Structure 1
Amino acid sequence: MKYFLLVSMMVFGRVLYAQDNSKTLKHKQDSNYIASYTSELDLTTRFFNSIKFSRYVLRDSRYKERLRYASNENLIIGVGVSYKRLTFNLGLNFPFVNSRDVEDKGKTKYLDAQIHYYLDNYVFDAWLSTYKGYFLTNPHETTNQDMADHSFPIRPDMINTNFSFNLVRVLNSEKFSFRAAFAQDEWQKKSAGSFLVGAECNMMFSKGDSSFVPSNVRESDFFDGYKIRKNTILNLGVSGGYGHTFVLAKHFYLSIVATAAFGGSYTSLKSHDDSQEDVHGLTFNVNYSTKVGLGYNSETFQIGLATVQTFMTNHTSLAHSKITENPGNVRINLIKRFVLKKPIRLPILNKLLD
């Protein structure tokens, strides 16, 4: 969204919280593997560039081609600060940076907010995203558009909203750090990995003024001939995966996390054609997500690239038909850490984080 002010989760931004009350739970990290910078005398500052995106894909298992819709990706430039377990990020969408291809791919307006809670052995993630304005990325593969026409069909009316929640248990949190690559307030000093188990819930709502399947689609029975213009999807699943950080010379790192979830799904479809009845029912879903981080990390400085993608594929009650939603982001972080002479005295904040 042009002139869009992105405040990650409003006041809290990206919240990274872990209980550190010594009378109840102690963080059992191995200091030979992980250095943490979340004490009351640590302050982490960041400058970042971020690109967030949303993709919506209609698939028919009888055909290789897929209808792939995408948001017009915008570059966000921002700053942030972390203290104890709290991170606040503020990003701006600069129009002079993101105005070049609006005529070709249309304008995307969006809200994208995230919460991440990091306990000793658990990671809790929550997302709320709404994107309005998509374009068809592959018209020559899926429609009868003239090969000499290199334009992208634009759908400014298309809206996609996603609520997602997942909880993951990190089985080797003593040696493997999620935060080092993806929250930037820890330092993974030695290579280590961990198996992951968890559960997740996703709710997805998409709608448009007309059918997502173009009238000039190449295969007339694509998506079983259903003129879908609205879908509601709810899925629940259990997940498992593995994460590993490879460390070279103590400072250079490559972190890879991959999880897959399997579960049940409720899908409801509404057609643009009044002669086609609403379709709904219980099916199954397969979701998977990837996180990749790489860069240089040290006691006082870090520079790194981090990418996060989620692929949520839901079978529908129509024969051969699937809907995949793919939100994600790519981010470059420049981090500088400071040691304070005395703790920051903010009574409400300190009570929340202690």
Structure 2
Amino acid sequence: MYPHSFNHIIKTIPLLLLIFIFRPGSDAMAQFTAADFNVTEDDTAYIDRAPSKWSIRLYSVLKFQQFGISSNQTNNAIGYAPNKFYAFGMGFSRNALNLDLAFFEIKKNVAGDTVNKSNAFDFVGSLYAKAHLFEAHLHKSTGLYGWINENGGGILASKDIDIPYRPDISITALGINYNYLFNSGKITFGSISGLEIQKKSAGGPMAGVFFSVYDLHADSAIVPVEYDTLFEDHTIITDAFMVTAGISAGYAYTFVFPKHFYLTLSLAPGVSVTRGELKANDEWYIGGVPVNISYKLISRGAFGYAGIKFYALISIVNDRNFLNISNDNYYLQDINKSKLVFGYRF
């Protein structure tokens, strides 16, 4: 499929990996949590890392991804996304280790289309270990719905033109994020999973690294022929294979309210180098000579109730990547996960 891409990528990966060293976490379906890295001594007036030995929980989760390309010269953007799907299941935890398993899924039809549905594999895992936060995701979707936004705003702006279902478009995204949380003796990422309790409001800066691989294939150009005048030639692609690696920095804060309620917010922008190949008008070209500077934004949040026995929360994680493919034309990959949890400790 990619006659030149892998040779270029293989030559580039060693250079990109010199930027950072990563250690990914793993999980079976949704999330594992651990807290046994003795980096900073905990202040027990702020954190309870072991409120119970066991807990059980019910949960639902919404996960989806979308991608798009914005044209710098024409100021237009095109985007695609699969069906959104909801999963429902049950989980349990022992000490700081948690496993959630989905029992069934519901795919949401796009308005006006009750026939076509995307085929998707979607994995998001995370490992919270005191000051360390590891996240990994693998997404693959085939069969997407599209839209075009005219006159600025990117793919996240209002949808001016709808594009019918494209069964031939396939996208894959693989990524690993690592963040180190300073002041981890007073603030915990465990409030996002519900397994640890933040007793007092606190915050701290973060620093991290990330690595991602993106793959796109379509039988014909992702921009329909009737709209190709809205985009410049380099953005009318059928294939793309890109690798990006970089560093991030941000801040996390948990607000603790009366009656055991809390709100956790974190934001971590990043900058990266990108290298890859894209195919437009039946010709391959290199995206990044030798590399392009790209951008990333990871946002995390949770609102919940952290009782002694009962706990509940809704959490949201958004991983947004802006990859500079050529002449400030950007490939956007947007990955989202929202989760609702009701649990009981014993």
Q: TM-score of the superposition, structure 1-length normalised?
A: 0.80
Correspondence for 2:116: 106
* Corresponding position: 1:216 with 2:226: yes
- In 2, Cα distance between equivalents of 1:76 and 1:245: 27
Residue 77, structure 1, aligned to residue 78, structure 2:
no
Summarize the Cα distance change of 1:322–1:92 in structure 2 as closer, same or farther, 3 Å threshold.
same
> What is the CA-CA distance between 1:42 and the residue it aligns to?
1.0
- 1:67 Cα deviation after fit: 0.8
For 1:279, the aligned partner's letter is: I
The CA distance in 1 between the partners of 2:313 and 2:34, in whole Å, is 22
1:29 paired with 2:42, answer yes
Query: Residue 307 of structure 1 corresponds to which residue in structure 2?
Result: 316
Pair 1:56-2:63 in alignment: no
Cα offset, 1:18, TM superposition: 3.1
Amino acid at match of 1:220: T
**What secondary structure sits across from 1:278 in the alignment?**
strand
Tell me how far apart the structure 2 counterparts of residues 121 and 63 of structure 1 sit (CA, whole Å): 44
1:187 is the counterpart of 2:197: yes
SS in 1 for 2:113: helix
Which residue number corresponds to residue 201 of structure 1?
211
Amino acid at match of 1:91: A
1:279 aligned to 2:286? yes
Pick from 278, 281, 288 the counterpart of residue 297 of structure 2: 288
Among candidates 32, 47, 60, match of residue 15 of structure 1: 32
Q: From the superposition, tell whether residues 75 and 322 of structure 1 become closer, same or farther in structure 2 (CA, over 3 Å).
A: same
CA distance in 2, matches of 1:78, 1:234: 34
- Partner AA of 2:42 in structure 1: Q
- 1:135 partnered with 2:142: no
Residues 190 and 250 of structure 1 are in contact (CA less than 8 Å); yes or no, is this contact kept in structure 2? no
Structure 2 CA distance for aligned equivalents of residues 214 and 159 of structure 1: 16
User: Does the CA contact (< 8 Å) of 1:76 and 1:93 recur in 2?
Assistant: yes
Q: Does the C-alpha gap of structure 1 residues 92 and 62 become closer, same or farther in structure 2, counting only changes over 3 Å? A: farther
Q: Which residue pairs with 2:182 in the alignment? A: 171
Identity %: 23
The answer on whether the counterparts of 2:83 and 2:109 sit within 8 Å (CA) in structure 1 is: no
Classify 1:249/1:118 alpha carbon distance in 2 versus 1 (closer, same or farther; 3 Å): same
Q: Does residue 337 of structure 2 align to residue 329 of structure 1?
A: yes
C-alpha distance in structure 1 between counterparts of 2:335 and 2:166, whole Å = 18
Q: CA deviation at 1:27?
A: 6.4
Query: Residues of 2 paired with 1:297 and 1:128: CA distance?
Result: 30
Instruction: Output aligned runs, 1:42-53, within 5 Å.
Output: 42-53=53-64
Which structure shows the bigger proportion of residues in strand conformation? 2
Q: CA deviation at 1:61?
A: 2.3
Coordinate RMSD, CA, aligned: 2.7
1:224 Cα deviation after fit: 3.3
- TM-score normalised per structure 2: 0.82
Taking the aligned partners of 1:110 and 1:286, their CA distance within structure 2 comes to: 26
Q: Which has the larger radius of gyration?
A: 1
For the 8 Å contact 2:26–2:127, the answer to whether it is kept is no
1:163 and 1:60 map into 2 onto residues whose CA distance is 24
| Residues 49-71 of structure 1 deviation map (CA, whole Å, 9 limit, x = unaligned) | 11111110110123443212112
Residues 241-268 of structure 1: per-residue CA shift (max 9 Å, x gap): 0011111115111111100111211021
**What code does the residue aligned with 1:30 have?**
D
- Amino acid in the other structure paired with 2:134: F
**For 1:285 and 1:105, how far apart are their aligned partners in 2?**
38
- Kindly indicate whether the alpha-carbon contact (under 8 Å) linking 2:77 and 2:149 is maintained by their aligned counterparts in 1: no
What secondary structure is seen at the aligned counterpart in 2 of 1:220?
helix
Distance in 1 between residues matched to 2:206 and 2:316, nearest whole Å: 19
2:11: which partner in 1? none
Contact 2:264 2:303 survives alignment (8 Å)? yes
8 A contact 1:316–1:322 mirrored in 2: yes
**CA–CA separation in structure 2 for the residues paired with 1:16 and 1:103:** 39
Amino acid at match of 2:64: F
Task: Quote how far apart the aligned CAs of 1:139 are.
Answer: 7.0
Question: How many pairs are equivalent?
Answer: 313
- Report the Cα offset of residue 94 of structure 1: 3.8
Cα separation, 2, equivalents of 1:223 and 1:118: 43
Aligned to 2:274: 265
Alignment check: 8 A CA contact 1:296 1:303 kept? yes
- Quote how far apart the aligned CAs of 1:100 are: 7.5
- Distance between the aligned counterparts of 2:248 and 2:305, measured in 1? 30
Give the Cα separation in 2 of the matches to 1:241 and 1:151. 36
